[in-house]
Amino acid sequence: MIVPVRAEGDTLAAYFLAEGEQTGEQVANRLVAFIAEARQTLDIAVYDFRLSDPLKAIVAGALEERARAGVRIRIAYDGDKPEQPALASGMDPAPPGTGAFVQSLGYPYRRIGGIKLMHHKYLVRDAELPAAAVWTGSTNLTDDSWTLEENNIVTLASQPLAGAYARDFEQLWQAGDIGVSGDVGADPADLTFGGAPAHVQLEFSPACGPAIDYAVAQRVASARRRVRVCSMLLNSSALLAALSDLLRTGRVPVDGIYDRTQMQEVLRQWQDVPHNHWKIGAVGEIVDAAGLMGKHSTPYSPTSRHDFMHDKVLVVDDTVITGSYNFSHSAELNAENILLIDSPALAEAYSAYIDHLLAKYGRQG
């Protein structure tokens, strides 16, 4: 399903992934095409980077070719957490192996520590050049992400936006810690998609975490025509309240898809947190009232099949909201990035993708 959605000359492109609908080689080759355009610098910030030998050969070969051409390559990754993370203290689990994989590539790297996650999935290419570009979205650099999960990739050909990502990367690189990264002064940018303007607003957490949560909820609360959900989780208090209000008034239709299995685990965790009890009922009411479809993924373990509905997408009227940012309180505290893109054409492309997933997983019963 990795068919580029764009028109000739567009500066924004979107790619959609779904379980079993594209090969790892197809995604690897798409990534290689992005890497191959680097002329001076390539900075990679990634939560999970582990590839099987065949896919590693494809990506590593592209990196080696660019390094030989004089491109400076740096990789920042989420510091591997202990096998038994301190969950009670807010430490999230991270799959093992990323550190060893990144170090095997042989480029300068930083292990980004912190009690929360360095959860980005972005590459910044030539931020100082007019041809600067960014690869971002929900997609980790793993076999499972590329073949078993629902994910989306967004590429942005924009020097101002690339500059903001580069500043975020530099903060992480210099500190070696999530800290308060993301305070980068990212100005909105005007790109093109489908031959028409696409207005892009970019934010980073943790520096702007609470503001992101508020902005997303306000967009949903102000919806005039539709709200479509395509998200692994729904656990932001502000978003749940906004969705509940919309559904109670019936002002605009709400529909979409989420990961039923992973959300059930969140609901079980909330049972042990009294101030989250209200969310359990709220999620149930939203799922029922909106008729949200739930993908039955495999319960998580480090060694299980990782076939999550892993997107983090909202379509609100003609705005697409997406990135690495799950709609959760944890995302406010993680190192994340999120895009709010005003573009009728892009909103229709994402809406068609959601329709496809609804039809696909509606057959699960």
Domain CATH for 186: 3.30.870.10
d(CA 143, CA 97): 13
- In Å, how far from its chain's centre is CA 18? 14
Residue 7 lies in a domain: no
Residue 243 CA to residue 290 CA, distance in Å, equals 9
- Please state, as a whole number, how many other Cβ atoms lie within 10 Å of the Cβ of residue 86: 11
Q: How many other C-beta atoms can be found within 10 angstroms of the C-beta atom of residue 305?
A: 12
For residue 88, the model assigns a pLDDT of 46
Q: Which residue has the tokens 């702007």?
A: 208
Order of strands across the sheet that contains 254-259: 189-193, 196-205, 336-342, 319-323, 312-316, 227-231, 254-259, 293-295
For residue 1, tell me if it sits in a domain: no
Return the half-sphere exposure (C-beta side, CA atoms, 13 A cut-off) of residue 176.
4
Q: In which residue are the tokens 């799922």 written?
A: 287
Q: Choose among 228, 220, 260: nearest CA to 349.
A: 228
Predicted confidence at residue 7, as pLDDT, reads 58
Residue 186 near residue 1 (C-beta atoms within 8 A): no
Helix, strand, coil proportions of the chain in percent (round to 5)?
A: 40, 25, 35
Tokens of 344: 């009728």
Per the rule left: phi > 0, alpha: psi between -120 and 50, beta: everything else, 268 is alpha
* Structural domain range at position 209: 12-362
Beta pairing, strands 293-295 & 254-259: parallel
Quote the pLDDT of residue 1: 61
For residue 97, is it within any domain?
yes
* Predicted pLDDT at 363: 60
- What's the pLDDT at 90? 45
Q: How many domains does the chain have?
A: 1
**Pairing assessment for the beta strands 227-231 and 254-259 based on DSSP bridges:** parallel
Q: Which residues pair with 152 in a beta bridge?
A: 16
* 3-state secondary structure (DSSP) of residue 47: coil
Using a 10 angstrom Cβ sphere, with 0-12 exposed, 13-18 middle and 19 or more buried, the burial of residue 129 is middle
Q: Tell the burial category of 202 from Cβ atoms under 10 Å away from its Cβ (0-12, 13-18, 19+).
A: buried
Separation in Å, CA 248 to CA 102, 283, 291: 48, 13, 14
What lies within 8 Å, CB to CB, of 151 at 6+ separation is 16, 17, 137, 138, 139, 145, 310, 311
Instruction: In whole angstroms, give the CA distance from residue 43 to residue 48.
Output: 15
**Paired strand residues for 156:** 12, 134
Is 4 a domain residue? Answer: no
Tokens 């798409």 belong to which residue? Answer: 30
Give, as one character, the DSSP assignment of residue 89.
Answer: G
User: Rounded CA gap, 2 and 16, in Å?
Assistant: 6
Q: Which residues sit opposite 205 in a β-bridge?
A: 336
Dist CA 88 CA 86 (whole Å): 6
Q: What is the pTM of this model?
A: 0.94
Q: What is the pLDDT of residue 89?
A: 44
2 in any annotated domain: no
Strand ranges inside 47-97, DSSP E: 49-50, 72-78
* pLDDT for res 294: 96
pLDDT in tens, the chain (365 residues): 655 555 567 899 999 999 999 999 999 999 999 999 999 999 999 999 999 999 999 999 999 999 999 999 999 999 866 555 554 444 455 667 899 999 999 999 999 988 889 999 999 999 999 999 999 999 999 999 999 999 999 999 999 999 999 999 999 999 999 998 999 989 999 999 999 999 999 999 999 999 999 999 999 999 999 999 999 999 999 999 999 999 999 999 999 999 999 999 899 989 999 999 999 999 999 999 999 999 999 988 777 888 999 999 999 999 999 999 999 888 999 999 999 999 999 999 999 999 999 999 986 54
**30 φ, ψ to 5°?**
-65, -45
Domain membership of residue 5 (yes or no) is no
Could you tell me if residue 28 is inside a domain?
yes
Query: Residue 35: what pLDDT?
Result: 98
